[in-house]
Structure formats: structure tokens, C-alpha cells
Chains A and B, each alone.
Chain A
Amino acid sequence: MHIPDGFLNVATIATTYAMSAGGVSYAVKEANRKLKEKHIPLMGVMAAFIFAAQMLNFPIIGGTSGHLIGAALAAILLGPWAAVLIMSCVLIAQCLIFQDGGLLALGANIFNMGIVATFSAYFLYRLATAVLGDSRKGRLIGGFIGAWASVVMASVACAIELAISGASPWAVVLPAMAGLHALIGIGEGLITGAALSLVLATRADLWQLQKV
């Protein structure tokens, strides 16, 4: 879902850069307050995993592929503000080193996949575990739902930016993006669920870690 340059107009570029800059600087402030020594290697390895997993596009129907975003996994395990920092670092590196996502669109990409995806996943996961209980089952179902919603919500944010920029009309781009990403989100949910159950089996104590 990395937006290349050329899709967004100047107003959208400026607005999304401003919102992302605000979100990231608040995330740094929160991390400053809450980050513990043991968060540091986990954040590094989470970012490394997300980067590697994002390279592995999986096919979905109709000659389309999707890949993990990873915001949900990071938000559930480390908290939403650590996830915002991790996602921003991954997206900045992808843009600067690998030319994945445009330089002018970087603000929008951080906003969609770093902030919108993170908080949609985090709140839905919290809601699901509140309803289903903080059990293994509740966490895995919550993880799946949160991950699915993170992809759909990020795609809706992306579609709104495209429509405002005049790249494509609202009535065309919004259902097309949300519909396709409702399918890609299933992949995100399955990968997130698998990663969470692996963590539950090997390091269940990570859930007791204070969230950033």
C-alpha cells in the first residue's frame, strides 16, 4: 500500500506530513517516558521482522498480491507508540533505500500504515480481549480482528487521500481499495495470529511487558 509520488496533491502531502510529524514526535515523547531497557532489542527485532515479512508478497485472487503491514503485531506486543516508531523507521528506510513509496508521499504512508493501522489494530484488539477475555483464545481472535481492521482502515485512509488529491473519484477508489484490502487483511490476520501464537508458545511473559 506504499503510495508512490504523483498520486497525491500538494495539500494532501502537506497535511499528511504535518499529521505524521505530530504523531511521530508524540510517539518519541511517550517512548521517552515509558521505554524500558528490555523493550530495545524487541523493538529492533520487531522492525527487522516487519521489514522482511513486508517483502514476502502473497498472492490473492485476480492477479493481485498483498503483504504484511505489521502495525497490528507491533501494537499488540509493544504498545501503539512503540509501533508508531517501528513502522515509521521501516517506512522511512523503504522509501530512502529501496524506493518503495514516494519521498513526497512518505508522510501519507507513515500516516496510513504507521498511525491509522496501528491504532485501529490496538483499539480493536483491546475491545476484543475485553469482550472475549484476556485468554489465549481472546488474544488470538483479537489479534486477527485487529490485524484485519488495520489493513482495511489504512486502505480507507489511503483512498480518502487519493480522492481528495483528485487521482480517482470517491465512489470509485473508496470501495475498490476497501474491498480489495478486506481480502488482503485476511492474510494480515493469519500472519499476525501465527506470529502471536508463536510468541505465546515461547515467550508468553511478553504480554506482561509494559506497553509503550
Chain B
Amino acid sequence: MKWWHYALIISLLIAVLSPLASSSPDGLEKVAENKGFIGLAQSAPFQVIADYVFPGIYNEAVATILAGLLGTIVIFGVVYGIGWLIKSRRTERTG
């Protein structure tokens, strides 16, 4: 196993821990609540996996873990793919 395989496994383990996250509002939300402009917020016109809860699963912790694992894998794939594309386009041009 290469080093980055371990790093990816650590990332997936962190995603599994995601139900332990604090559900308190974050810094910006808190300021918006305290200073009275939270009401301006509009929710998204579409919902895919809103609020990191995988839809259709009764157990919220399981739904959060699934959303986290899916997101971690998708992001890894997307960024790896973009890096590979940038690299291979250059190799084509120069080689």
C-alpha cells in the first residue's frame, strides 16, 4: 500500500465519525442569528443530499455516514480525474 492509500482510508474513517459532529450553528450562521440577518437566507432550489443526510434512510447517523463516504469518494475521484486530465493534456502537447 502506498502512503496516500492510508491517507484516503483515514479520510473515510473521518467521514464515518461525521455523526459525532457538533450540530451548533457555525461561525457565520451564529453571527447571522445574533445580528438578525439569518432570515435573508434562502434554501437551494434543488436538493440532492441536503445537509449531508442521505435521503430515504430512517436512521440519521447512517444517512450522514453514507453521505460522508459518498462525498469523500466522489471528491477524491473528481480531483484525481482533473489532475490526470491536466497532466495528460500537457504530455500530449509536449510529447
Contacts and interface: CB of A to CB of B under 8 A. Distances in A.
Interface of A: 1-7, 28, 31-32, 35-37, 39-49, 51-53, 55-59, 62-67, 85-86, 89-90, 93-94, 96-100, 102-103, 155, 158, 162, 167-168, 172-173, 176-177, 180-181, 184, 202-203
Interface residue SS majority, chain B = helix
A52 B27 contact: no
B31 A177 contact: yes
Given A2-B28, A93-B78, 14 more contacts: A4-B43, A6-B41, A44-B77, A48-B11, A56-B18, A59-B24, A67-B26, A93-B74, A98-B52, A98-B71, A99-B46, A99-B51, A155-B28, A158-B28
Interface of B: 2-4, 7-8, 10-12, 14-15, 17-18, 20-28, 30-32, 34-37, 40-52, 64, 67-68, 71-80, 82-84, 86-87, 89-90
Contacts of A31: 83, 86
Cβ-closest 6 pairs across A and B: A44-B80, A40-B83, A65-B22, A48-B76, A6-B42, A47-B79
Nearest to A56: B21
Given A1-B28, A7-B37, A64-B26, A97 B48 contact: yes
A104 to B, nearest CB: 9
A42 B2 CA distance: 11
A57 B75 contact: no
Contacts of A167: 32, 37, 40
Interface residue SS majority, chain A = helix
Contacts of B44: 5, 99, 102-103
A39 to B, nearest CB: 6
B55 to A, nearest CB: 11
Contacts of A39: 83
13 contacts: A2-B26, A7-B40, A37-B87, A40-B80, A44-B76, A55-B68, A58-B22, A93-B75, A96-B48, A97-B48, A102-B44, A173-B35, A176-B31
B79 A43 contact: yes
A180 B30 CA distance: 9
B64 to A, nearest CB: 8
A52 B8 CA distance: 10
A43 B79 CA distance: 7
A5 B42 contact: yes
A1 B27 CA distance: 6
Contacts of A42: 4
Given A48-B72, A176-B34, A176-B35, A57 B84 contact: no
Given A28-B86, A202-B3, A45 B18 contact: no
A157 to B, nearest CB: 12
B71 A93 contact: yes
Contacts of B90: 32, 35
